[in-house]
């Protein structure tokens, strides 16, 4: 039987590593390939993404781990597939929570929920799937 605290720690560390990889390295570098001002814009975007990313990561750590553990326990595939499917489900659920939080904070109307879901959902799902791969590497 796995230690629950160790799993939570691995889950949270995988999220942090995935977030840092995407928003602190990949986005600034991809924006910087165009020109010097693109590199500055990428670094600025990476820094401002903390405003959205940290609360989403905090919510994923609090409510995402129990969901991850529940879904993971019900699946009967290979370990990697179980981890990726569980992380994908957590990402989708956290995307809805983040979109609702985005609307509450910025006062958007309900008819713009789709835009908020896209703004918060796409990066959350990308980071969630990458954190699943990192979690798998840490725990295999």
Whether 128 and 88 have beta carbons less than 8 Å apart is answered as yes
Render 11-26 in DSSP notation, one character per residue. Answer: HHHHHHHHHHIIIIII
pLDDT of residue 5: 46
Q: How confident is the model at residue 47 (pLDDT cuts 50, 70, 90)?
A: low
pLDDT of residue 41: 64
Quote the domain boundaries for residue 65.
4-139
Does residue 12 surpass a pLDDT of 70? yes
Q: Over the stretch 63-97, which tens digit does the pLDDT of each residue have?
A: 888 888 888 888 888 888 888 999 999 999 988 88
Does residue 38 surpass a pLDDT of 80? no
How many separate domains does the chain show? 1
Element (H, E) at 36: helix 36-59
pLDDT of residue 121: 81
Q: How confident is the model at residue 1 (pLDDT cuts 50, 70, 90)?
A: very low
Q: What are phi and psi of 76, to 5 degrees?
A: -130, 45
What is the number of alpha carbons within 13 Å of residue 50 lying toward its C-beta?
A: 7
């Amino acid at each position: 039987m796995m230690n629950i605290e160790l799993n939570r720690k691995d889950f949270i560390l995988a999220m942090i590593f995935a977030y840092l990889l995407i928003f602190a390295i990949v986005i600034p570098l991809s924006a910087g390939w165009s020109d010097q001002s693109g590199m500055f814009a990428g670094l600025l975007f990476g820094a401002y993404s903390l405003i959205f990313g940290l609360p989403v990561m905090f919510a994923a750590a609090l409510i995402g781990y129990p969901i991850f553990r529940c879904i993971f326990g019900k699946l009967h595939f290979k370990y990697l597939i179980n981890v990726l499917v569980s992380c994908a489900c957590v990402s989708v659920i956290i995307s809805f929570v983040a979109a609702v939080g985005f609307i509450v904070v910025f006062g958007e109307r309900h008819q713009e929920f789709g835009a908020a879901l896209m703004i918060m959902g796409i990066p959350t799902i990308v980071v969630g799937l990458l954190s699943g791969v990192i979690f798998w590497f840490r725990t295999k």
